[in-house]
Structure 1
């Protein structure tokens, strides 16, 4: 069976029956209420998207709801982009409005742990440290709550009919999106939800270290959460069918088919682009069936690869058309007509005429959108070829202008475009605005637990400050102050991800700058965080020195909350070193400071710490006393994660006391508290 499908996007579909059957079997499981995840693995141009498109057409009679998300190549890294793209209310209808998580969907950003999974991050600012720096589970609890909201949104859609959620180009997904995908795959196994994710394996070895997708892919395989369909290159017969379908002819010489098949090595997108290129060059006349007039087929020069094909097609364009494509490539994979027109300062009718020609040539596609007239490049290679052809100076000027236009256009909703503005002003070398929007983007990403993306934008903020130097509006001291605060943020992210050596290095950079500034508060904050990171590495004696130094300054400045944190860190060091009396003395001082600060949450978590020390020394009576005191404080702030921990520890004490029934009672209370987390 051979099928050729042609439309304005020139999608080609030939002989994928076995892959379709696998997808249909997976969908049948989904219809029966057994959620599945399927990966489509195949190189660029092999037809993964066309395969899914054909599969989704077959689902029509079943009434499946199709959701589509995209990952963009080297554009502004917006955390959770494929989920935002698929689940925006304007695309999924009113059913979504009441179940979307605030801050992720609709509002759109308004405003991996190596070890120690109980370390929090991102819950206190850089100046006023709060009690959560050593609390267990806060970040995981909040991130899981947000992830569960997205999962619920998708599951709710599946109540009426099965949901098929397709994510294309997963190799370009941010790490936060990959973590969310893993979470959803794990939690929709009893729902009518089918996840289909296409990716290019050749892209997974192109970055330093392990690609994030490889890690998630391995974990999901180990948990038996996914299956993989490999979409391979095509045989000669299928390539022949594609060529015949495109040229609407059957009497094509075997020598030509053999030449195309040999050069393409069975890649269908390559074949389509070669035929387009040969038609545009006049080598082939698609309206003629006379092949004898064609030049010697064996000597026919074909492009050497996908990028070569695209380069040849773009090279034939006139200057005006190239200029339009150059500006579009600088805007991004997707571009709005009004931004493009204003960037080019071009007559509307004239620009539309050229865009129509580019659509006819299958270089760009008009996207359906309620937000305005939006276009995208037909294939990522087209944009890549055009953008890579820009000189550095031209790219800089374009990004500067585009950033300014988007900033003006979106002045009343800057929170929606911080990632875009950060990219354009950074690439445009407008360093002060690059700093401003990179910082905003980092804060937004951190608030959504997208820690890798937050780190990227904070480092970009540091670079902008360094480029500014004395030109920064705050002067040289302002640069050092902002850099110190950024290094504290970066250290916080590293700490929360279990990368303690990285945390120490970032905090040391902050410490060095704070000393140059003569800022005692910053110096104490950096020293405290260095000590906390060292304590997590087991370097207790070294950690004590840093924490003692910080405590001295906090005490001088009468900062009760910070004093509590430093003493708590010292208590932890002494406890782990087996110096239990010293540990209790520091915890007692920490409790006094927390009481002065009126922080019930910190008190509750520290009472658990004190209970642990008593439990360690076999003083079960005092251990139980402090665990119960912890529950009393934590119930005031409804921290069910910590309450569950306290009940679990009470159960553990009763196990040690061989009071089995009481132990079961409290362990059950721990489970019930944990169920309240969501």
Structure 2
């Protein structure tokens, strides 16, 4: 309590760091969520994440104002402290001490008696739970740790150590909690915990291993196999490695268990197998893929002993595999003794009264002998009207209602007789094509099933049925009364679609990928596409944002007939609007744009109201769907075809002239409404043959290049060059130069060399075009990266520099000389060139100067490093990293991190080296340059090796070499091979090290890199010593 005359003491302060920063007091005083000074808020965070809630003043100033002079930093800290104290205690009197934020000598700290931090409490709870191993305590401790620490400061280095501590605790809690839950037979809870953890850390192999082991223990090998593939994909995406030996072994165990499940176990074969109905007797051409869960549900439903709803409705789009799935479930049920009746609704035959049930019963009775058919006819006379094949006829009914009731009783009686000896499953395929009377009979049978051993499965498609259709209303009533459950069948995943395509004859993963993109996982479309030649698959779907128009004439005839039949049922106006929508491309089209195109590109024009009515009709038929389109930062209503093949088949019905007119209308409309959508405008103008196309092609190419979409940028530049070359060779050469720069970044060096040599020749022929110097510099860099640095230097020497050359181009030339000088071991020449480049940057703006300075500092740091000047190298590398981060350039950051990491390795700071290498790999992925990624992966392998993780190092080194080899001749391959040789040598695999060094020697010729050469010599000498010590003879070459 406060003493007499003392101000009342402030309440306790609670700081929330997990899930986002917040501050709250328990005495009712409200702390504003928005602080007047952001640095005051950051100061409190700095102290809250620090050990003991305290930091040195100078450390705080370095973190908050790293570039400010000391006097300025001291003044800023004083102001920030004042602001922070008053933000936490608005009532604090002038010059009064703070209850929470205390300064004592050179230390700043949060009062531990007055301040509680949720992250501290979460850590204490986690450690205590790990000691007690109590499931409830572990779960309670894990819950807060699943929230991210200060997500608004995700990349702040000062929170990194605390974040890693929490991650380590979370990684310990998850398996501990899962283990306790499993020990308590709470398997579902354990799985839920592990799945949340996998979602957060998809590349954590331990979590995948635990989940896969649980699935195997539960007798669900398919789930275990899926878990293995999810882990493998995540590891390959993030680190380029494969799962470890333990998970591989578990994968093999799951595969063996799956093989053992090929036939039902003896305990389930309680009855003689039943005869299959004629409709599903023929064996299927291909196995089912991706339907394990719904197949298990349907098989369980068909063989259940009266529990649960008696009726299952399987929904899905046309071709999704509803019939195929239900047929497989029916076969499995028949193998377990279930009597299966199969009836199909036939749209082409119209709505025959009770036709789907007549088909099912007729098919069953066709397999019975004459005596059995006579018995059924005699005992269930009401069937005669439904099945004339039984002979005779029912007595005259007093009314249609009585005749209907007699039929219902007869069908129920037949099912009752059949169910007396074995369970009965009635499959009603394509129920949407049946008549309302069939739905009424189904409602009666489902309602009166009760404890009888009848089960029903129906396949149903909603598209084409009006909302007030009697069939839809009856089925909705059955579902509403909980007499049925639904299974919505989705499209196949990429992996399952590829497996189906391979089973149907598709060759190679590239073809499988194309089939998935075109079919979107629709099994029917995927199977039909496997019969298409590879060139037709290419013509149907360009895989990148390009100006190539997909070719509708390449769509298989079977799919074209299917689509044509569906389109023929639509009104003519709806077909015209769909034709306009079909040429827009694969993306959704805003409704306002489609209305404008229909008014200006169709003849006669279609007004907005008619467009809306046409789209509603098409949506009801399942051909198009509404999708939001982001325009100007906000979502607007748009429409798109539900399937790309339907769009292609629809567009194929248009003449070339009609398509050209529609593309012109789209280009004018998008240019008016969304001028920033340059890629879409370029596409339509190019296909329409409009003279404005080159300008928009250049804008689209430049945008794609800025976003590191290298393949798309190259396609745009290729089309741009083709259009410019006949009329303006100089402009075409400038476009080639930009194209070559993208090819260089994508490590497509042979193409880049060809494109840049043509660009350079044309620019020189133009009388010394200013861009000629930039073309020569880019060509020289390409030659250097292709392992021919001496040729690159020759190109630079012959390049002319004149008064019209831009300062940036002159500086870039000197930088290229420096980089190639470093690559050839001419370090003094390289340093001199870097000095000249630095002088050229003096009068540039920051935006132009920062990338050059970062690259300059990186090369300088590397030269100083290999020359043994570690202190100067560290200063240059840190400057390079700071400048690259200011320039926000991923490629420059990656390069700088590589040098910083190498310095850390030289100084024995293994963890820092590994962290730098991991960051470099992450940055390299963003650049789109595979050579940089291969180089940084090799560096990461070396860092993992020094940290003691030899298995991870070996996997990374091998992945780096595979990637570098796939690029052909490049500067990265010798580095990757030296890295692999070192990893193999440290693991004691002498033959592997020898092979890597031999390949490295071959890859270096004819211009050896001094660093690689020195590394080879060092490893070769060490290898010889090890062999001599072991008395091992080198293998014969």
Q: Structure 2-normalised TM-score? A: 0.35
Mapping of residues 96-111 of structure 1, within 5 Å: none
CA distance in 1, matches of 2:813, 2:652: 51
Q: Is the 8 A contact 1:595 1:603 kept in 2?
A: no
CA distance in 1, matches of 2:242, 2:343: 39
Q: Who is 2:972 aligned against?
A: none
Corresponding residue to 1:330 among 566, 578, 583: 583
CA distance in 2, matches of 1:670, 1:305: 55
CA distance in 2, matches of 1:392, 1:571: 55
Q: Who is 2:852 aligned against?
A: 602
Corresponding residue to 1:496 among 733, 745, 754: 745
Q: Who is 2:658 aligned against?
A: 394
Corresponding residue to 1:385 among 649, 666, 679: 649
Shift of 1:529: 0.9
Q: Which runs of 5+ in 1 are unaligned?
A: 1-147, 150-183, 191-213, 259-267, 288-302, 470-475
C-alpha spacing 1:586/1:245, structure 2 compared with 1 (3 Å): same
3-state SS of paired residue (1:521): coil
- 1:532 paired with 2:781, answer yes
**After superposition, what is the alpha-carbon deviation per residue over 1:451-484, rounded to whole angstroms, capped at 9, x for unaligned?**
2222222223333435xx5xxxxxx4xx333322
Q: Who is 1:465 aligned against?
A: 724
- 1:486 paired with 2:577, answer no
CA distance in 2, matches of 1:256, 1:363: 35
Q: Who is 1:587 aligned against?
A: 834
Shift of 1:494: 1.0
Q: Who is 2:706 aligned against?
A: 447
3-state SS of paired residue (2:639): strand
Between structure 1 and structure 2, the one with the greater Rg is 2
Q: Is the 8 A contact 1:341 1:351 kept in 2?
A: yes
3-state SS of paired residue (1:376): strand
Q: Who is 2:142 aligned against?
A: none
- 1:421 paired with 2:677, answer no
Q: Who is 1:174 aligned against?
A: none
CA distance in 2, matches of 1:441, 1:624: 45
Shift of 1:530: 0.6
- 1:363 paired with 2:612, answer no
C-alpha spacing 1:508/1:223, structure 2 compared with 1 (3 Å): same
CA distance in 1, matches of 2:234, 2:203: 17
3-state SS of paired residue (1:498): coil
Q: Who is 1:306 aligned against?
A: 559
C-alpha spacing 1:557/1:187, structure 2 compared with 1 (3 Å): farther
Q: Is the 8 A contact 1:650 1:666 kept in 2?
A: no
C-alpha spacing 1:549/1:253, structure 2 compared with 1 (3 Å): same
Corresponding residue to 2:359 among 225, 230, 253: 253
CA distance in 2, matches of 1:217, 1:665: 21
- 1:547 paired with 2:800, answer no
Mapping of residues 6-405 of structure 1, within 5 Å: 219=237, 230-231=290-291, 233-234=324-325, 236=327, 243=344, 250-253=356-359, 305-315=558-568, 320-333=573-586, 334-335=588-589, 336=591, 337-342=594-599, 343-344=601-602, 345-367=605-627, 374-405=638-669
Q: Is the 8 A contact 2:860 2:876 kept in 1?
A: no
**After superposition, what is the alpha-carbon deviation per residue over 1:602-649, rounded to whole angstroms, capped at 9, x for unaligned?**
34543442343343344x3xx432432453576467559868976875
Q: Is the 8 A contact 2:861 2:876 kept in 1?
A: no
3-state SS of paired residue (1:305): helix
**After superposition, what is the alpha-carbon deviation per residue over 1:167-192, rounded to whole angstroms, capped at 9, x for unaligned?**
xxxxxxxxxxxxxxxxx9896669xx
Q: Who is 2:808 aligned against?
A: 561
CA distance in 1, matches of 2:693, 2:362: 53
Q: Who is 1:23 aligned against?
A: none
Q: Who is 1:616 aligned against?
A: 866
**After superposition, what is the alpha-carbon deviation per residue over 1:396-452, rounded to whole angstroms, capped at 9, x for unaligned?**
1221122223323x0xx411x32222221111111x322222222222222222222
Q: What value does the CA root-mean-square deviation take over the aligned residues?
A: 5.3
Structure 1 range deviating more: 340-349 or 389-398: 340-349
Q: Is the 8 A contact 1:329 1:383 kept in 2?
A: yes
Structure 1 range deviating more: 421-430 or 327-336: 327-336
**After superposition, what is the alpha-carbon deviation per residue over 1:143-197, rounded to whole angstroms, capped at 9, x for unaligned?**
xxxxx99xxxxxxxxxxxxxxxxxxxxxxxxxxxxxxxxxx9896669xxxxxxx
CA distance in 1, matches of 2:619, 2:789: 65
C-alpha spacing 1:275/1:312, structure 2 compared with 1 (3 Å): farther
C-alpha spacing 1:671/1:241, structure 2 compared with 1 (3 Å): same
C-alpha spacing 1:644/1:403, structure 2 compared with 1 (3 Å): closer
C-alpha spacing 1:237/1:592, structure 2 compared with 1 (3 Å): closer
Shift of 1:311: 2.3
Q: Is the 8 A contact 2:729 2:762 kept in 1?
A: yes
Q: Who is 1:510 aligned against?
A: 759
Q: Who is 2:989 aligned against?
A: none
3-state SS of paired residue (1:520): coil
3-state SS of paired residue (1:374): strand
C-alpha spacing 1:185/1:484, structure 2 compared with 1 (3 Å): farther
Structure 1 range deviating more: 343-352 or 392-401: 343-352
C-alpha spacing 1:645/1:487, structure 2 compared with 1 (3 Å): closer
Q: Is the 8 A contact 1:561 1:593 kept in 2?
A: yes
C-alpha spacing 1:367/1:597, structure 2 compared with 1 (3 Å): closer
CA distance in 1, matches of 2:863, 2:855: 13
Shift of 1:532: 0.9
Q: Which runs of 5+ in 2 are unaligned?
A: 1-153, 156-197, 205-231, 252-287, 292-320, 331-340, 365-428, 435-458, 473-555, 927-1037
3-state SS of paired residue (1:346): coil
**After superposition, what is the alpha-carbon deviation per residue over 1:543-586, rounded to whole angstroms, capped at 9, x for unaligned?**
11111122xx2355564433332222223323322334433443
Corresponding residue to 1:434 among 693, 706, 716: 693
**After superposition, what is the alpha-carbon deviation per residue over 1:337-379, rounded to whole angstroms, capped at 9, x for unaligned?**
5235423322444444544443444433445778655333343
Shift of 1:534: 0.2
- 1:456 paired with 2:715, answer yes
**After superposition, what is the alpha-carbon deviation per residue over 1:248-306, rounded to whole angstroms, capped at 9, x for unaligned?**
86415269999xxxxxxxxx99x9999999x99xxxx999xxxxxxxxxxxxxxx9833
CA distance in 2, matches of 1:362, 1:643: 49
Q: Is the 8 A contact 1:647 1:669 kept in 2?
A: no
CA distance in 2, matches of 1:542, 1:501: 14
CA distance in 1, matches of 2:839, 2:797: 17
Q: Is the 8 A contact 1:327 1:340 kept in 2?
A: yes
CA distance in 2, matches of 1:596, 1:390: 58
3-state SS of paired residue (1:554): coil
- 1:407 paired with 2:668, answer no
3-state SS of paired residue (2:606): coil
Q: Structure 1-normalised TM-score? A: 0.51
Q: Is the 8 A contact 2:582 2:647 kept in 1?
A: yes
C-alpha spacing 1:595/1:304, structure 2 compared with 1 (3 Å): closer
Q: What count of residue pairs does the alignment treat as equivalent?
A: 425
Shift of 1:506: 1.8
3-state SS of paired residue (1:402): helix
C-alpha spacing 1:257/1:584, structure 2 compared with 1 (3 Å): farther
